[in-house]
C-alpha cells in the first residue's frame, strides 16, 4: 500500500470516523450470495483478531497490516472473487479503501478464543453481533465452533453459536458456522481432521438454532470428503486452511471436493493471501478457475 493511501485512511479514522458508517450505508450491495461463477468465493482475513498471525513458515506474516490490506485489495479486485470475511477493523479499512463495492461481506463474530491460551475453547463473541451486521448492510456472520469433549467451555460456546444462528436467521442473514472436533495436544488446541470427526462436527453445527434456513457450513477438505458431504443437506463452503507447502496437491484436493454440487463455494485466507512465491493474483486466479 502506498504511503499516501495509508495516510488518507488514517486521516479518515482520526478526523472523519463517521465516514465508515456513511460508506457502509452507500455501498453497492451484491445481488445474491453466489456471484460470477454460480458459487461463493470469499477471501478470509479474520485470523489476526484471534492472535493467529502465522502463514506458512512465517510466524508474524499477518502482523503487517498495510501489507495485509494490499494483498486483500489485490485479491478482491480479481475476477470471480465475490467478497470477504473479516472483523470490523479490517472490513472498515477496506470500506475506506473502496474495496467492498458490490461484494458479499461476512462479519466474523466470535474471536475471543485467542490462539494458544488456556481459554481458547471458550470462544466468546467479541467482534460482530447480528444487529451490527444488519446495520452495516453486510450479508451474514461467521462463527467458529470448536467442540472439545474434555473441555466444559465447549457448552457455553455451543449456546452462544446457537443464539447467533437465531439472531442472524431473524434478520434473514447468512449464518456461516465453522465446526471442528478439537483436542488439546501438549497444551495446544488441535483440530481433528479425520472424516469421522468432521462429520460429527458438521451434524452438530447443522442442528444449531430454531431454523437452519440461513445456515451454511464451512468445512475443511479432508480424505473421504464424499462421506462428509453426505452428512448434511446444508450448503457447504470449503475451508482453504493453512498455506500448503505443495500448493498443486492442495489445489487437486480442493478441485476434487468442488466436483460435488453440494459445495457452494470456498473461503480461503492465508492460502491465497500468502501463497508460496507470494503471487496473490495468480493464487486467486487458480482458485477461481477451479470454481
Angle at 176 between CA 56 and CA 31, to 5 degrees: 105
Gap between the Cα atoms of 147 and 35, Å rounded: 32
Q: How many domains does the chain have?
A: 1
Give the tens place of pLDDT for each residue, 212-227.
999 999 999 999 999 9
> At a CB cut-off of 8 Å and minimum separation 6, what does 235 contact?
216, 217, 262, 264
d(CA 74, CA 81): 10
3-class DSSP assignment, residue 40: strand
- For 181-189, the CB contacts below 8 A with 24+ separation are 181/146, 181/147, 181/148, 181/149, 182/121, 182/146, 182/147, 182/148, 183/148, 183/149, 183/150, 184/148, 184/150, 184/151, 188/116, 189/120, 189/121, 189/146, 189/148
Using DSSP's 3-state secondary structure scheme, residue 6 falls into helix
pLDDT at 45 exceeding the cut of 90? yes
Residue 125 has pLDDT above 80, yes or no: yes
pLDDT in tens, 168-201: 999 999 999 999 999 999 999 999 999 999 999 9
* 161 phi/psi in degrees, rounded to 5: -65, -40
pTM of the predicted model, to two decimals? 0.96
Q: What is the pLDDT of residue 38?
A: 85
Residue 243 clears pLDDT 70, i.e. is over it: no
CATH number reported for the structural domain that contains residue 68 in this entry? 3.20.20.70
Q: Mean of the pLDDT values across residues 238-242?
A: 83
Alpha carbons 134 and 115: distance in angstroms, whole number: 28
Q: Is the pLDDT of residue 245 over 80?
A: no
For residue 250, the model assigns a pLDDT of 79
Residue found under cell 478464543: 113
Domain that holds residue 225: 3-290
Look at residues 237, 250, 238, 252 and name the one whose alpha carbon lies nearest to residue 276. 250
The residues, any chain, with a CB within 8 Å of residue 13's CB and separated by 6 or more, are 96
CA-CA-CA-CA torsion for 164, 166, 168, 169, nearest 10 degrees? 160
Handedness of CA 233, 234, 235, 240 (dihedral sign): negative
pLDDT band at 248 (very low <50, low <70, confident <90, very high): confident
Asked if pLDDT for residue 122 goes beyond 70, the answer is yes
Q: Are the C-beta atoms of 158 and 199 separated by less than 8 Å?
A: no
Amino acid at each position: 500500500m502506498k504511503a499516501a493511501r495509508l495516510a488518507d485512511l488514517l486521516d479518515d479514522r482520526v478526523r472523519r470516523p463517521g465516514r465508515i458508517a456513511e460508506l457502509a450505508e452507500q455501498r453497492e450491495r451484491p445481488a445474491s450470495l453466489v456471484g460470477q461463477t454460480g458459487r461463493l468465493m470469499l477471501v478470509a482475513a479474520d485470523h489476526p483478531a484471534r492472535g493467529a498471525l502465522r502463514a506458512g513458515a512465517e510466524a508474524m506474516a499477518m502482523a503487517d497490516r498495510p501489507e495485509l490490506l494490499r494483498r486483500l485489495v489485490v485479491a478482491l479486485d480479481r475476477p470471480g472473487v465475490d467478497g470477504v470475511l473479516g472483523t470490523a477493523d479490517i472490513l472498515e479499512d477496506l470500506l475506506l479503501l473502496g474495496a467492498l463495492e458490490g461484494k458479499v461481506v461476512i462479519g466474523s463474530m466470535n474471536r475471543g478464543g485467542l490462539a494458544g491460551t488456556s481459554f481458547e475453547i471458550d470462544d466468546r463473541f467479541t467482534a460482530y453481533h447480528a444487529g451490527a451486521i444488519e446495520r452495516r448492510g453486510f450479508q451474514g456472520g461467521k462463527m467458529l465452533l470448536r467442540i472439545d469433549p474434555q473441555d466444559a467451555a465447549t457448552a457455553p460456546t455451543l449456546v452462544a453459536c446457537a443464539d447467533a444462528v437465531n439472531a442472524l436467521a431473524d434478520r434473514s442473514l447468512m449464518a456461516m458456522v465453522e465446526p471442528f472436533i478439537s483436542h488439546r495436544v501438549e497444551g495446544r488446541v488441535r483440530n481433528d481432521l479425520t472424516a469421522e470427526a468432521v462429520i460429527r462436527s458438521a451434524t452438530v453445527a447443522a442442528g444449531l438454532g430454531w431454523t437452519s434456513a440461513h445456515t451454511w457450513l464451512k468445512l475443511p477438505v479432508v480424505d473421504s470428503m464424499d462421506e462428509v458431504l453426505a452428512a448434511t443437506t446444508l450448503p457447504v463452503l470449503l475451508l482453504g486452511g493453512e498455506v500448503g507447502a505443495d500448493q498443486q496437491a492442495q489445489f487437486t484436493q480442493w478441485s476434487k471436493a468442488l466436483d460435488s454440487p453440494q459445495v457452494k463455494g470456498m473461503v480461503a485466507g492465508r492460502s491465497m493471501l500468502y501463497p508460496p512465491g507470494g503471487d496473490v493474483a495468480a493464487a486467486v486466479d487458480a482458485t477461481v478457475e477451479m470454481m
